[in-house]
Chains A and B, each alone.
Chain A
Amino acid sequence: MYELFKDLGAWLVSGDQWGGADGIAQRLAEHLQYSLLATLIAAAIALPVGLLIGHTGRGAFLAINLSSFGRALPTVGLVVLVFLASGLSMWPVYIALVALAVPSIVTNTYAGMTAVDPEVKDAARGQGMRAHQVLFQVELPLALPLIMTGLRLALIQVVATATIAAYVSFGGLGRYVFDGLAQRDLVQVLGGAVLVALVAVVLDLALSGLQRLLFRHRPSTLKSA
């Protein structure tokens, strides 16, 4: 056990591992690219949907159950399915990752919108704000903490799951996991896993720090947990 962790430490800090066309730096960049792009696409789809459902109150059933469906969807199966359908391309990875991220963002955006005090919305309307002004000047800013939480959650899930890009012969940090599994090289597998976990934790901390900075004026009840 001790030997293993010593080897793992050596693997993680070795210069050979970090440089080069298939070094850790490159894999890290690929991993971040998959994750951030997928989350961005997911946000572009999910935010308008969540805002609309939250603002109009229509389709609440969808918003509530979508997250349950998203949790139930086996990502591995989805990736393989899209891979078999589309052949060797980035489609399977992005479709699976976006499918994973959309429910979290929709559900949290909707939750953020419904958490806005109805009295405040009533007051906004009563002062003479039009529907779009209520949405963008009142509801959206007030829902933002929870929306950010949704984005954070989605990004973490996506980072963790982007490992499967390697399963369908692409890059990212998952390479080490799957190559290591194939070569029975435990050190490499662990190295990949630790790196993915680190990326997830660091991104989570960075985003929650940003969130705290952005909403430092808010009463604690409006901040995300």
Chain B
Amino acid sequence: MIQFEAVHKRFPNGTTAVHDLSLDMPEGGVTVFVGSSGCGKTTSLRMINRMVDPTSGTIRVGGRNVLEQDAAELRRSIGYVIQQAGLFPHRTVLDNIATVPLLLGWGRKKARAAAGDLLERVGLAPEMGRRYPHQLSGGQQQRVGVARALAADPPVLLMDEPFGAVDPVVRTQLQDELLRLQRELNKTIVFVTHDIDEAVRLGDRIAVFRTGGHLVQCASPAELLARPADDFVADFLGAERGLKLLSLTALVDVKQGAAPDGGPWELVLDGARKPVVWRERGGAGGAEVPVRPLRDTDSLLSALNESIASPSGLVARVDAEGVLTGVSSRSDIHSAAGDAHLRGAGNGATSPDGGAPAPEPSAPTAATPRGSAPDPAAQSPQGLDLPAPADAPADGKSGRGVA
């Protein structure tokens, strides 16, 4: 859908913003450009809709060279969202959203109707349409920004740090909204951020840029986290890169067994066999600890978290209806985590059924990498060489009990 071919951008002041960028973004899906400031990610994005023209090289959108198209018309066919939304302060929210339809000559009535639909689509009440941007909260303004970009239903959406200026809670909401919208619309989205967590959360592909405008690596989040191309990428991904990877790996392949009959903690179920609480055995006065059952699509990171929070060290597994299907032990989750790290890209949470090459039956020693595995990451200090599950304090026996 979008292709960069040997694209260079050098600004008049002599700085090279983008260096020999070649990148192919297929139709549909979110490609995230990440990197620290001055790495050329925003310039690269802005070259797609000709807000910046490349010094050399070719950029194609939908097979057509952007430089051969009229810049204004090209931009009308591509959605564009920027930080702080960049809304027109002198126009109502509805008229802001209707900008591109009006530029395309749809007529005021049709443009406003489309704008009204989009307002709803991004989760804003219809009466918001009559307000002026400064009467909206930052998060609401950003939603309007997204609605405006989508108004003429462009196949491509460019988003330049769109959620950079809102607080973390609102940012998470906006990210969820975007993922929801993307499931409905399946646009080709290019998203710029300097926040690696945002990139991992939103991206189907992540392109990591280094200062000087070099593209260092472009891969799926799981692949990137598992096999960073070099130290720069590894540093950029951060010390918790292993945990981030687990957030992308689904729980589905972790083996489960029946809930234990013995042991100090009992999993209490309701009439429909839905988990209710962990209760200490030994009479009515036993302590109760809340249980947070997980589904197959939940991430290994949640499972790891729950296995620590659960007093029994066991994680309750349920099906889509919330009915208990079994429990997984802390050691099995740890093994799966180690495997996930070795496999890297194999089993993404976004496609839990993805063709992972026959996961190994998790041997108790699985936390130790197989000697032949040529995975540099596994030897790095940030690798997931967690202590062997059996060393986990206090509940070794309950862990074994399940297997």
Contact = CB atoms under 8 A, between A and B. Distances in A.
Answer yes or no: A and B touching, Cβ < 8 Å: yes
If over half of B's interface residues share one DSSP class (helix, strand or loop), that class is named, otherwise mixed; here it is mixed
A98 to B, nearest CB: 30
Nearest to B84: A119
A222 B51 CA distance: 26
B86 interface: yes
B86 A123 contact: yes
B82 A128 contact: no
A222 B89 contact: yes
A126 B80 contact: yes
A219 B132 contact: yes
If over half of A's interface residues share one DSSP class (helix, strand or loop), that class is named, otherwise mixed; here it is helix
B11 interface: no
A127 B90 contact: no
A117 interface: yes
A142 B77 CA distance: 26
A172 B171 CA distance: 64
Interface in A81-138: 117, 119-120, 122-130, 133, 138
A15 interface: no
Interface of B: 49, 51, 72-77, 80, 82-90, 99-100, 103, 132, 134, 145, 148-149, 158
B88 A120 contact: yes
A218 B49 CA distance: 30
A59 to B, nearest CB: 19
A217 interface: yes
Given A127-B80, A128-B103, 6 more contacts: A117-B86, A123-B80, A125-B75, A127-B148, A141-B90, A222-B89
- In order of increasing CB-CB distance, the 10 nearest A-B pairs are A123-B86, A128-B76, A128-B75, A219-B134, A126-B80, A119-B86, A130-B72, A141-B90, A128-B72, A127-B99
A137 to B, nearest CB: 8
Interface of A: 117, 119-120, 122-130, 133, 138, 141-142, 217-219, 222
Contacts of B99: 127, 129
A44 to B, nearest CB: 24
Given A219-B132, A219-B134, A126 B90 contact: no
Contact of A119 (B51, B77, B82, B134): B82
A109 to B, nearest CB: 17
B100 A120 contact: no
29 contacts: A119-B84, A119-B86, A120-B87, A120-B88, A122-B82, A123-B80, A123-B82, A123-B85, A123-B88, A124-B88, A125-B51, A126-B49, A126-B75, A126-B82, A126-B86, A126-B158, A127-B100, A127-B148, A127-B149, A128-B76, A128-B77, A128-B103, A129-B72, A129-B99, A217-B90, A217-B132, A218-B132, A219-B134, A222-B90
Contact of A219 (B49, B89, B148): B89
Max count, chain A CB within 10 A of own CB: residue among B132, B134, B148, B149:
B134
Nearest to B49: A126
Contact of A218 (B77, B82, B89): B89
A10 B133 CA distance: 55
A150 to B, nearest CB: 18
Contacts of B103: 127-129, 133
Max count, chain B CB within 10 A of own CB: residue among A128, A217, A219:
A128
Contacts of A123: 80, 82, 85-88, 145
Contacts of B132: 217-219
Given A122-B51, A126-B75, A128-B100, A218 B90 contact: yes
Contacts of A217: 90, 132
A120 B96 CA distance: 11
A86 to B, nearest CB: 44
A122 B89 CA distance: 14
Max count, chain B CB within 10 A of own CB: residue among A123, A127, A142:
A127
B360 to A, nearest CB: 49
